[in-house]
Amino acid sequence: MKYSLSDFTLDEKMKLLSGKDFWHLHDLDGKVYSVLCMDGPHGVRRISEPEWEIETGANSVAFPSLCVLGQTFNEELAGEMGEALADECIDEGVDILLAPGCNIHRSPLCGRNFEYFSEDPYLSGVFAREYIKGLQSKGVGACLKHYCLNNSEMGRVWTSSEADERTMREIYLEAFRIATEADPLSVMSSYNLVNGVRMSENKTLYNLLRGEFWREDGVIFSDWAAVQDEVASVKAGLDIKMPHQSYEVLRRAYDEGKITEKEIDECAKRVLLLIEKCENNLAKRGKTSPKHERYKAAEKIAREGIVLLKNNGVLPLKGDADILITGIKPDLYVSGGGSSNLTPDYTPKTLDVAISEAAPELLIEKADGSQWSTTYYRAYEGGCGKDAVIVLVNAEETEDGDKGSMRLSRESELLILENAKRCNNTIVVVRAGCAVDMSAWEKKVGAIVYAGFGGAMGNEALAAILMGIESPSGRLTATFAHTYEDYPVSRAYRTHAVNSYSEGLSVGYRYFDEHPECVLFPFGHGLSYADFEYSNIQISGKGEIYTVSFEIKNTSGIDAKEVSQVYVREINPHVIRPYKELKAFKKLLLRGGECVKVKIQLTKRDFAYYSLSEGAWVTKPGEFEILIGRSAHDIKLAGRVTI
Ligand code: GLC
């Protein structure tokens, strides 16, 4: 240890327990290394407002949102994004990236779902883990967030998320447990309360995190301005209160005997270790990748994260097609709002330009439907006589607020419907951060592409998919039900101060497996331009390790990536359990006509549930089914195993 507590006065140790300014930790006037933290999960934020005390004119690469990254179902891309973001951080002198978030998509109205991976804890945890590994492998620290049960933005600072322990363990903490396998440099506690205790002073959940999942000396940050009681926070083991100083409060509390030096030392020693790790990281840093490599990574992720939900055959577009591109402000750069927002350092290509570059012979007309009105369209006749119409529609999503509805704006829906009247090959491209209510129009259109918030390279990626340069391979990481009322969260008890997770384990497909009639597009759904056949499942093993193998054949003539999902189901559980749960997934490139054998290993823990009576994860002896699916509702193979 370079820094030991005995080297510092009590006042200095108190100063270490909060920020020096909005983004820096305290450096005690140069006595310790000055650590710079910065947002955000899909790009290094440019802070150009001088009042935020830092000018980073960063040329930030705007990567796709974490939800789009999750939709790739390709965990290697999470590592690649982490590495590319590390390079962005190194260029800007950032020591800790305030990312990734791994909160669960509990409600489709949550304003921050775009910053999170999925409704499923396993998928969320794996992607957060691989992202952290990539980021930290290049000498930049992660700050896994927001711990925990921060699944709504409305009233986030004063609302208590109320959940029973099994629900917490199996759904909301499980993603953090898996993610901490990557040993993040830090964790950020969330704004909300959990079962009545504020997360910036929740000793019980800090002890669970440090004692069961992570490390005793792991540093916990507050969320920015989340701390309501500095003394209670320090006593609970919250190490760093951001963004600003709380020295005076701690000094006074100490003088009044409300806090001891020992309690301050508990936090100060973890902060000194973190500062030392950040300093040591500098030596770990190698040459950063060139900018264009990072843009390539961003485009690759955006491409693989695009989900083709419906296709009447209009896609991929023919090279000589005559198309109309329209939308409400179709050229608008679309991303989620709040602390993760970025101003890309280069003006992203519009879709018409990206398509023209991909297919120069294609005829493109563009009409901004923003001033859309029936009169306008009657005059303009919209998509009449076109081979296809692409309607770009956007959902507004932001931190610090939940959506009032899952539906698109009325003008977007009307634009879709009017074009669908004029052209059977109307393709709707949805740029949103999570599930959208499509019930008003999805039956009337020829194709639906869920592009998510694709970042600065989003339109290049979209053009590649629309033109068939690459087959779509993305899959939904959250269930798209018909309407908000189909989700159990819509019936959960909620007041100004309490958010009751009364649906328990019934989140996402864990609920919809029993209610398929509510589902428009299931978890894991995504079409390809190729066709695949699954066969020959074999299950072997006993005791701790089980091997599942099966074959996939690409029966089409085109190369394409395919995602297989592996679910586990207990046949006759003696406790309430979801019908099935995702325990593995695999994405493979299959050449046209190619057949591959997939081998997946499961452990005994993959069959377990959290037993309240035993206070542990247990796998009871019994018969289980292993299901191989293209989605939660498209199961291709099944086999049984006795544990
Ligand atoms: C915000 C967010 C958090 C972000 C921090 C700094 O309120 O909740 O994710 O990293 O404050 O901007």
Query: Could you read off the pLDDT of 571-624 as tens digits, one per residue?
Result: 999 999 999 999 999 999 999 999 999 999 999 999 999 999 999 999 999 999
Nearest to 354 by CA among 433, 511, 466, 192: 466
Question: What atom of ligand 1 comes closest to residue 39's alpha carbon?
Answer: 10
Given this model, what pLDDT does residue 57 score?
43
- Active-site residue set: 223
Closest Cα to atom 9, ligand 1: which residue? 339
| pLDDT tens string 435-458 | 999 999 999 999 999 999 999 999
Question: What atom of ligand 1 comes closest to residue 45's alpha carbon?
Answer: 12
Average pLDDT estimate for 258-267: 98
Q: Is the CB of 138 under 6 A from ligand 1?
A: no
Average pLDDT estimate for 500-513: 98
Q: Is the pLDDT of residue 373 over 80?
A: no
The whole-model pTM stands at 0.97
Rounded to the nearest angstrom, the distance between the alpha carbon of 199 and the centre of ligand 1 is: 14
Closest Cα to atom 2, ligand 1: which residue? 339
Q: In what order do the strands lie in the sheet with 219-221?
A: 37-38, 96-97, 141-147, 186-189, 219-221
Nearest to 213 by CA among 178, 186, 185: 178
Question: What is the token pair recorded at 293?
Answer: 């490599």
Rounded to the nearest angstrom, the distance between the alpha carbon of 206 and the centre of ligand 1 is: 19
Given this model, what pLDDT does residue 381 score?
65
58 vs 414, higher pLDDT: 414
Given this model, what pLDDT does residue 245 score?
79
The alpha carbon of 487 is separated from its chain's Cα centroid by a whole number of angstroms, namely 20
Q: Is the pLDDT of residue 633 over 60?
A: yes
Q: What type of residue is 289?
A: S
Given this model, what pLDDT does residue 399 score?
95
Given this model, what pLDDT does residue 341 score?
85
Rounded to the nearest angstrom, the distance between the alpha carbon of 38 and the centre of ligand 1 is: 9
Given this model, what pLDDT does residue 352 score?
97
Q: Is the pLDDT of residue 47 over 90?
A: no
Q: Is the CB of 98 under 6 A from ligand 1?
A: yes
Given this model, what pLDDT does residue 557 score?
97
Q: Is the pLDDT of residue 49 over 60?
A: no
Average pLDDT estimate for 458-466: 98
- If pLDDT is split at 50, 70 and 90, which confidence band does 382 have? low
- The residue whose two tokens read 């990281």 is 281
Average pLDDT estimate for 286-297: 94
Q: Is the pLDDT of residue 56 over 80?
A: no
Best residue among 24, 46, 98 to mutate for probing ligand 1's pocket (most ligand atoms within 8 Å of CB) is 98
Cβ-contact 595, 601 below 8 angstroms = no
Best residue among 223, 341, 400 to mutate for probing ligand 1's pocket (most ligand atoms within 8 Å of CB) is 223
Rounded to the nearest angstrom, the distance between the alpha carbon of 136 and the centre of ligand 1 is: 20
Given this model, what pLDDT does residue 385 score?
87
Rounded to the nearest angstrom, the distance between the alpha carbon of 466 and the centre of ligand 1 is: 35
Average pLDDT estimate for 227-256: 95
Rounded to the nearest angstrom, the distance between the alpha carbon of 521 and the centre of ligand 1 is: 32
Q: Is the CB of 115 under 6 A from ligand 1?
A: no
Cβ-contact 535, 598 below 8 angstroms = no
Angle at 253 (CA atoms; ends 250, 259), nearest 5 degrees: 90
Given this model, what pLDDT does residue 55 score?
44
- The residue whose two tokens read 């800007």 is 92
Closest Cα to atom 11, ligand 1: which residue? 224
Average pLDDT estimate for 319-331: 92
Neighbouring-strand partners of residue 193: 160, 198
Q: Is the pLDDT of residue 50 over 50?
A: no
Question: What atom of ligand 1 comes closest to residue 115's alpha carbon?
Answer: 9
Given this model, what pLDDT does residue 46 score?
66
Question: What atom of ligand 1 comes closest to residue 146's alpha carbon?
Answer: 9
Question: What atom of ligand 1 comes closest to residue 143's alpha carbon?
Answer: 10
Q: Is the pLDDT of residue 524 over 50?
A: yes
Best residue among 224, 241, 340, 399 to mutate for probing ligand 1's pocket (most ligand atoms within 8 Å of CB) is 224
Q: How far apart are CA 259 and CA 96, in angstroms?
A: 29
Q: Is the CB of 224 under 6 A from ligand 1?
A: yes
Average pLDDT estimate for 407-422: 92
280 three-class SS: helix
585 three-class SS: strand
Given this model, what pLDDT does residue 482 score?
98
Question: What is the token pair recorded at 464?
Answer: 């590649």
- If pLDDT is split at 50, 70 and 90, which confidence band does 201 have? very high
Q: Is the CB of 153 under 6 A from ligand 1?
A: no
Question: What is the token pair recorded at 479?
Answer: 């269930």
Cβ-contact 102, 116 below 8 angstroms = yes
Q: Is the CB of 570 under 6 A from ligand 1?
A: no
Collect all residues with Cβ–Cβ distance below 8 Å to 410 and sequence separation of at least 6: none
- If pLDDT is split at 50, 70 and 90, which confidence band does 377 have? low
> Above pLDDT 70, what percent of the chain?
96
Q: Is the CB of 174 under 6 A from ligand 1?
A: no
Q: How far apart are CA 277 and CA 283, in angstroms?
A: 10
> Above pLDDT 90, what percent of the chain?
89
Cβ-contact 601, 633 below 8 angstroms = no
Q: Is the pLDDT of residue 492 over 50?
A: yes
3-state secondary structure 150-218: CCCCCCCCCCEEECCHHHHHHHHCHHHHHHHHHCCCEEEECCCEECCEEHHHCHHHHHHHHHHHCCCCC
Nearest to 456 by CA among 44, 61, 125: 61
396 vs 46, higher pLDDT: 396
Question: What atom of ligand 1 comes closest to residue 99's alpha carbon?
Answer: 10
Mean pLDDT of the chain: 94
Q: Is the pLDDT of residue 279 over 70?
A: yes
